[in-house]
Amino acid sequence: MFFVACVNQLVVMVCILLATVSSVSTQTLGVVRPQATVARQQGGLTGFRTSLDIKHLNGSNADQPFNWDLDVSLDFDLLDLGIIRGNLFGNFETIIGGELRAVDPNQSNYIIDTSIFIRLPRGELSTAFHHVSRHQIDRPDTGSISWNMVGISYGDQLTIGQVELDVGARAMGTIQRAGVDYRGQFETYFKILRVINQKLSVIASVDGVIVPVEATFFGRNTQHGGRIEGGVRLRSKVGSFDMFVAWEQRIDASALRHQTVRWTQFGFRLNSLLP
């Protein structure tokens, strides 16, 4: 029954993404995940991918607590046996505002995923344990805010001429939670990279997430979030540099605000080019 529910939620989410931009989430709910498909490289510690995002937040919901969003991601392939690879992924996000001082880090979010990827004739299927915790910085202690989920995902990559497509979906159910009402999480994403020359590419992506909730907890219904991004990528021998503009609908942007906000982002991203 859980699998049927996952499929139904994913179908609904795809329809929402295709129908309207206003319903497309967050760093803590969707968007951030390990690389879904990787070339075979048998052995230990076969892949190490890193990225650093720095984004300036703009819009009516980007008030004093929300000026900047900094993210660091670490994506390790610990073991690759050809058909199976084991992965450890971590994302560390800091939100910076201007409430108490000019540069005021006010919350941090931590994501840790452990995944087993199985290579199929087309794409990769994975099972994952997903942990998220949220912490206030220089604020009164509001108690533990964290949740654990388990689930499955599928991802694939396609190349059509000079265009590279990265698509996938993930469905997870909550097995433990503290301070949140999330019962599960259903995601889908589409990424496009158009190569212009050896140094320059155009990038775009759409991420969507649906989060069923326990209605009696905060008195609300299923939450929807998402993110649309477009920009350019400059490549070098050791990595790549992205400059982008994005629009985001974020679920529970603050641990103290149980509401969905919207804002635009202007930022850049540094990526490693290791396998």
Q: What does the alpha-carbon distance between residue 201 and residue 223 come to, in Å, rounded to a whole number?
A: 34
Range 57-78 average pLDDT: 92
pLDDT score of 28: 63
Q: What does the alpha-carbon distance between residue 117 and residue 85 come to, in Å, rounded to a whole number?
A: 5
Query: Can you give the residue range of the structural domain that contains 254?
Result: 2-272
Amino acid symbol at 125:
L
Average per-residue pLDDT in the chain? 87
Q: Is residue 144 pLDDT above 60, yes or no?
A: yes
Ranking 21-25, 59-63, 112-116, 162-166 by mean pLDDT, the lowest is 21-25
CATH number of the domain residue 11 falls in = 2.40.230
Going by pLDDT thresholds of 50, 70 and 90, the confidence category of residue 62 is confident
**Side-chain-side CA neighbours of residue 25 (13 Å):** 25
Q: What does the alpha-carbon distance between residue 155 and residue 188 come to, in Å, rounded to a whole number?
A: 10
DSSP state of 36: S
Distances (CA, A) of 24 to 55, 95, 138, 228: 18, 21, 32, 7
Kind of pairing between the strands at 68-80 and 43-58: antiparallel
Question: How many structural domains comprise the chain?
Answer: 1
Q: What does the alpha-carbon distance between residue 258 and residue 254 come to, in Å, rounded to a whole number?
A: 7
Two tokens, residue 94: 């800091």
> Is 260 in contact with 251 (CB distance < 8 Å)?
yes
| Residue 240: strand, helix, or coil | strand
Phi, psi of 20 (to 5 degrees): -160, 140
Q: What does the alpha-carbon distance between residue 82 and residue 262 come to, in Å, rounded to a whole number?
A: 42
Range 228-239 average pLDDT: 94
Going by pLDDT thresholds of 50, 70 and 90, the confidence category of residue 2 is very low
Amino acid symbol at 40:
R
Q: What does the alpha-carbon distance between residue 135 and residue 71 come to, in Å, rounded to a whole number?
A: 15
Among candidate residues 251, 134, 247, 244, the one with its CA nearest the CA of residue 187: 251
DSSP state of 162: T
